Amino acid sequence: MTLSLTDAGRLTAGATMWTTGAVPEQNARSLMLADGPMGVASGRVDERDVSVLTPAPVAQGASWDLDLVAQMGALVGNDAIAMGVDALLAPNVNMARSPLAGRAFEYYSEDPLLTGLCGAAWVRGIQATGTAAVAKHFVCNDSETQRDTMNAVIDEATLRQVYLLPFEMACAAGCGGIMTAYNRINGAWCAEAAGPLAIVRNEWAYGGVLMSDFFATHSTAATLNAGLDLEMPGPARFLGAKAETAVAQGETTAERVQDAAARVIRFNQRFGGAKTPATLDAEELLTAGAAAGFVLLRNDGLLPLAPTLRTLAVIGPNATAPCYQGGTFARIAVTPEALTPLQAIEAALGGQLAIVHEPGVDPQPRLPSMPVTPAMDLGDGCATGLTVEYFAGHDLATEPLSRETRATNSLVWFHGVHEQGRFNEVGAVRASGWFTAQADGPHRFYAGATGPVVLKVDGQEVVRRDVQPPASDIMGVLKAGDADEGIVTLHAGQRVLVDVELRYAPARVQGLWYGVRAPDTPDAMLARAVEAARQADAVVLMLGETADASVESKDRADTRLDPAQLRLAEAVRAANPRTAIVVNVGHAFDAGFARDAAALLVAWYPGQNFGKALVDVLSGRREPGGRLPMTLAAQEADYPAFDLTPDAEGNLAYAEGVLVGYRGMKARGTKALFPLGAGQGYTRFALANARVEGGQVLVDVTNTGTRPGSEVVQAYLAQSPFALVGFAKLHLPAGETATAQIAPSPYILRSVAGTGPVPLVLGRDAEDAAFALELPR
């Protein structure tokens, strides 16, 4: 059946915010999309739409376990089925090019092969359930600074060998779609980048759908002619009905529009049918998966904790305010049953020893929570949260359109997604709740919004911001999440009514956020933490990012942890050298502060079972199975790519070429503080008898310790560019030997010049050349 040009054009744009168009006569129903990759994000950005929250891609990459990554994809696929979602905008196979990248937690590695293998495994896992994977963000969306306008300037070899490679591997794995990025590449918007898109369609013979990131299209004919098939979201802005007009004006061809529609139809047909949930033990997988990504970089024997301990001090902000995930629009609403690290430690070890806790620094440094009870009883059984009222205009004295109770301190509304109101028209929102002070002294109240906002305490204005951003700036204001503050002195037990009012102008998205900080001083918090450490037999010091610190559209200024946390670490270690430091971050960081720590464990963003996995690793019930997926440099100047600020013309030069991360450091002879692939478990391994047989690298691996454990054996090209060419992860009981088999990747070997044997090195990390081998051509 041939579609009319009108119908074909209609299919080139989404039907709604999260759905594609349908063609019932061709058995192609509309598909429901959702954002990822750590789970199925709520299209409403609503804390009540709870989904499974897996370890972040950086944590999955740290596992170096492709079977585990595939299971994580399948687990997300199961949740997608339960939520009626047909396609997930994931995996993110961009590269952790710089440690400053604000979204590095969504990237698997700084290495293109490890990234590509993990991305392909995740694709196979989710698509085994019948749920589509849409790999993103094509291409060179490896940073967030000015990402909507930035122009990545990159040479052909680098583009192909590093940044396109993970997408190529995702395509080879059969991913349902590819989503283009917001930025430009060599001058062209990614949705109009004819050169890279031609590689996908022609060289890779990819038959899936090529769609835009949301609101990332800029033209009609140029976008279609470059090869994009689907503009998201709907209703259309540049494609859709405008595609037919472009044909009539001779700017594109009817064949191109029909081809785009045909790809959308195939996409709908392929993933619009019956789904097949995977048989998985979700609870075990989430716990084991988190532990498998934990990277133990130092350990003088403190871990696992001895059963003879009498007192354990759990210190640090991340014990009670862990960073489970980054602050993107793909944020997952975490189950309220998720245990914080402190809760898990108390539940598992509280009967065996005394546990004391002090945060040491403010656990919510950016935007604290708003612990209140609703201003009204709406009969919904909600005992906590604010009563939120929606108004048709700016007059809050009128009867509201509706009311609901929301247990969150951050509200986001997309036009066309919520039932409460049409947020592209003038309106207002009021959030109200009763706050009871727990201490005497000055309380800081915070409020921010996408329009004029007022916060009142018992009817008295405390915060007022009258700025109305232009509609074009609303998304930036929302992503930045900045808030104004005001101080109110309260006494312990005092109950006050808090009202936060937003009056907004028309825009496609609106937001309101608020919080309150109880009185305390940095010096007092630090003193209590130091005393707790001094009195304990051992300390678990939990540092890192808190409250979704990594955000979209913002890169980091440096690699260091917060200065107050570094001060806390120094003071606690001085009070008790038996301190195990747990770092909860989503990116490469400056680990110099802990280079001589008794134990240093990198937990990344480990998903909802962070607490359970951590207590299992601390107690020795599980081992920390991870290895670094990215280099931790001795100093910031050692990173081959660091500054992510485009020049005055908006250009960001990928000047390091293919020598990204560990490759560039190897080329310069720079030694890392901890190299790619570094890490240890709770046992020891010996490697022997390395050889090449039948095109594979083989080496015998023996667990010489007294505990079961895992080892990751890695093979690298010994010639420039030094590059990971393959790896194998083995799990062995104590005393047992097995042969690791590494198949060198043809994706890496095809870039090797010359005709003779290919020199390789084999070891446990990028700086461990335990064996030198030659691979015949």
Residue 556: phi, psi to the nearest 5?
A: -80, 160
Whole-Å CA distances, 591 to 304, 325, 692: 21, 21, 37
Terminal Cα-to-Cα distance of the chain (whole angstroms): 49
- Residue 462 · residue 488 · CB < 8 Å: yes
Closest CA to 69 of 729, 763, 748: 729
Q: How far apart are CA 477 and CA 463, in angstroms?
A: 17
Q: Are strands 427-436 and 495-504 parallel, antiparallel or unpaired?
A: antiparallel
- Residue 151 · residue 187 · CB < 8 Å: yes
Cis, peptide link before residue 624, omega less than 30° from 0: no
Closest CA to 283 of 524, 621, 53: 53
SS3 letters across 621-665? CCCCCCCCCCCECCCHHHCCCCCCCCCCCCEEECCCCCCCCHHHH
Residue 138: phi, psi to the nearest 5?
A: -80, 110
Residues 6+ apart with CB under 8 A from 465: 447, 448, 449, 452, 453, 454, 484
**Token pair 């680098």: residue:** 158
Is residue 213 among the annotated active site residues?
yes
Closest CA to 203 of 245, 159, 234: 159
Q: How far apart are CA 77 and CA 279, in angstroms?
A: 11
Residues 6+ apart with CB under 8 A from 239: 9, 12, 13, 217, 220, 223, 224, 228, 230, 231
Provide the H-helix boundaries in 51-164: 57-63, 66-82, 112-127, 156-158
Residue 659: phi, psi to the nearest 5?
A: -90, 60
Q: How far apart are CA 615 and CA 303, in angstroms?
A: 11
Q: How far apart are CA 92 and CA 214, in angstroms?
A: 15
Closest CA to 565 of 601, 611, 522: 522
Catalytic annotation, pick one of 86, 142, 213, 499: 213
Closest CA to 589 of 58, 110, 99: 99
**Strand boundaries in 273-370, DSSP class E:** 295-299, 311-315, 354-358
Beta-ladder partners of 730:
711
Q: How far apart are CA 57 and CA 529, in angstroms?
A: 33
| Catalytically active residues, by annotation | 213
